[in-house]
Amino acid sequence: MLITKCPDTDKNISFSPSKVSSKQVPSNSGMLMLGIYRDVLPRVRKYLEFWQQEAEQIPNPELRFQALLSIKTKTFHCEGGSIYGLLAKDEIEPTIRFIVAYQTICDYLDNLCDRSTSLNPEDFRTLHQACLHALTPGAEGINYYQCRQEQDDGGYLIKLVKTCQSVLQQLPSYAIIAPQLHELADYYCNLQVHKHVKVQERVPRLKAWFTEHRGQIPEMKWYEFSACTGSTLGIFCLVAYACDPNCSQELAIKVKNSYFPWVQGLHILLDYFIDQEEDRIGGDLNFCTYYDSQQEIAERFVYFLSQADSSVAQLPHKNFHRMINRALLGVYLADQKVNQQRDVRKTARQILGSCGGSALFFLWNGLIMTRIRYQQIFV
């Protein structure tokens, strides 16, 4: 039995590769929602409370503000990603511990880059070395802030990185999934660099990057490819499967090829879809603005969903993965931002109307989760 220490408690988390799992991966929407409310959300909140306490201790006021803001406003990223803890069965605890820490790194760095005091691509690349180090047990941390004015985070980012490393180094099948983890993370980190530089440089850089990879991906537009690179879901799925000592290289490759590009593309296009007005006000790049019309958005989103469903059909627990695709629709389209944008609300209804009853089921649950989340933030 392998033991790792939980950061916010003296309780040990164990991987027991030899035992037969006593849990089942949810195969229908009722089981999935029960697992989310009973097994996922309480763990996510526990870990986010810990990282919030850590963020409150950051000495630099700007770094502290962005760290706390990322946790406050992007909780649903950790909630959604942590659903993959259910795929890990008895190893749900360490899997969610990893997911919350890794997603918190991504959200924090995204905030630093979006509202940056710098437009230096080397700054963004150095910051995002943390994402790669977090996936590499034994990798030594660096001064991730070396290219920017703000420096002292009190060890916050390093703690997040080491938390991820501590889980991964004990995964029975980490070595099997490592190449795929790093491939997906490399895509993610490059996107963060290209999309945060000077406004006039962003689109040319992203188009050139797309051209480099065009022959390796299905037919799509440059902004759709960029969206596909911006998700962490493939990483979380790989980590969940790597809790099993019988995870094979074939499975790791299938997971990567299933999630990238279609599932990840659906995920991030939805994220940009609901943020259109917010990004317009903030002057941020939004991939949905490059579609010719709202009708095209609806058609392409439905196409991405159908391709995502087809791509995950080759995976174990295919019903679970297909439910995730619809849960993405439910969680994002239930967000209050949708009702605040007339065109977005109209298009959301069109998308849901093409996706069947299960998407509406997850929308209903998404509305409940959204109401609970907003009450927690503002009460």
Structural domain spans, the chain: 29-378
Q: Which two tokens stand for residue 98?
A: 């990893």
121-153 residue pLDDT tens: 999 999 999 999 999 999 999 999 999 999 999
> Residue 184: CB partners within 8 Å, gap ≥ 6?
232, 234, 235, 238, 256, 259, 260
The dihedral built from the CA positions of residue 314, 357, 85 and 238, taken in this order, carries a sign that is: positive
187-201, 287-301, 339-353, range with the lowest pLDDT: 339-353
pLDDT of residue 356: 61
Given a cut of 50, whether residue 205 has pLDDT beyond it is yes
Report residue 366's pLDDT band, with 50, 70 and 90 as the boundaries.
low
Report residue 351's pLDDT band, with 50, 70 and 90 as the boundaries.
confident
What CATH number has the domain spanning 29-378? Answer: 1.10.600
pLDDT of residue 103: 98
List 14's β-bridge partners, or say none.
3
Report residue 379's pLDDT band, with 50, 70 and 90 as the boundaries.
very low
pLDDT of residue 371: 47
d(CA 288, CA 270) in angstroms, rounded, equals 9
326-349 residue pLDDT tens: 888 877 887 788 888 888 889 988
Taking residue 79's Cβ as centre, other Cβ atoms within 10 Å add up to 21
Given a cut of 60, whether residue 376 has pLDDT beyond it is no
Half-sphere exposure of 99 (CA within 13 A, CB side): 36
Report residue 14's pLDDT band, with 50, 70 and 90 as the boundaries.
low
Report residue 9's pLDDT band, with 50, 70 and 90 as the boundaries.
very low
170-186 residue pLDDT tens: 999 999 999 999 999 99
Per cent of the chain over pLDDT 70 is 87
- How far CA 246 is from CA of 40, 55, 156, 305, 317, in Å, comes to 24, 37, 34, 30, 15
